[in-house]
Amino acid sequence: MANKQIDMRKTKLIYKLYTSGTSKRGISQQLGISRVTVRKYIEFFRRYRFTAYEVEKMTLEELHNLFKDGQKRKSQRLLTLRQYFPYFDKELRKTGVTRQLLWEEYYAKHPDGFKLSQFKYWYAEWRKETSPVMHMEHKAGDKLFIDFTGKKLHIVDRETGELKELEVFVCILGSSQYTYVEACASQKLEDFIRCTENALWFYGGVPKALVPDNLKSAVTKSSRYEPKVNEVFADFAEHYETAVL
């Protein structure tokens, strides 16, 4: 962060206003802070995936230490924490494992260790060092990404007691990350199209493009450069005046 920090109460207010829909210009005018400073603090919270709720619950001391720790050299306490990160990284790939649970495990062994907010900050820093990624910019209403999850749900038939599997359809708007999820009987074309149509009704609009990620239901021939789209799904997209990528 910059050498001179603003009042920690204002950092909370910046993120609260931003997550409630106020523009950076509006925040700058409302709080009397430069847009550069507003953008800097917003990017800090977003970079380390803090939610508005998490920021609101932080004490002023925790916020101060969080920004201060961001400028410090690695202490012995931090070196101890970083030894856990490869293990935590593997655990987070398991269903139901969260950063909160891993922090509780760490903090039980090191009661003088980092608080949750700082734990998340340093884990995100470690991830940046070990797993570089390309940042993708998405325009609002531009693309809807569609897929089925690998893990299935199960229901019990009331009459027979038989355990039945259900597929989980998921789609997400690239810009807002607004997500729609639906359980369905199969990944067959008719179920896939029905779920996609339900998603469009849920969103209340149609994006410029549907991106089905080479699903068999939507793509008859996978290709990195020019996949062949199923004709029925192509007709569906044409009906809604959108494209399939």
> For residue range 175-212, what is the model confidence (pLDDT) as tens digits?
888 899 999 988 888 899 999 999 999 999 999 888 88
Output Rg (C-alpha) for the chain, integer angstroms.
23
Strand-pairing partners, residue 144, are 173, 210
Distance CA 27, CA 230 (A): 47
Which residues, 6 or more positions from 213, have their beta carbon under 8 angstroms from its beta carbon?
Answer: 145, 146, 147
Across the range 125-149, mean pLDDT stands at 77
**pLDDT at position 180:** 93
| DSSP per residue, 10-30 | HHHHHHHHHHTT--HHHHHHH
Predicted confidence at residue 223, as pLDDT, reads 52
Query: Between 106 and 137, whose confidence is greater?
Result: 106
**Position 99 pLDDT exceeds 60:** yes
Whether 67 contacts 5, CB under 8 Å: yes
Split at pLDDT 50, 70, 90, the class of 114 is confident
pLDDT band at 217 (very low <50, low <70, confident <90, very high): low
Mean per-residue pLDDT over the chain, rounded? 81
The CATH code that applies to domain 1-71 is 1.10.10
Mean pLDDT in residue range 215-230: 60
Distance, in Å, from the CA atom of 31 to the CA atom of 15, rounded to the nearest integer, reads 12
pLDDT > 70 in the chain, percent: 83
Query: What are the extents of the domains in the chain?
Result: 1-71, 73-134, 143-244
Residue 161 and residue 85: Cα distance in Å, rounded? 43
State pTM to two decimals: 0.48
pLDDT for residue 7 is more than 90: no
pLDDT tens digits, 64-86? 777 765 544 446 778 788 888 88
Q: What are phi and psi of 234, to 5 degrees?
A: -65, -40
Lowest mean pLDDT among 55-64, 92-101, 149-158: 55-64
Which two tokens mark 123? 């884990």
Classified as helix, coil or strand, 54 is: helix
3.30.420.10, 3.30.1660.40, 3.30.70.2660, 1.10.3210.10: CATH of 143-244:
3.30.420.10
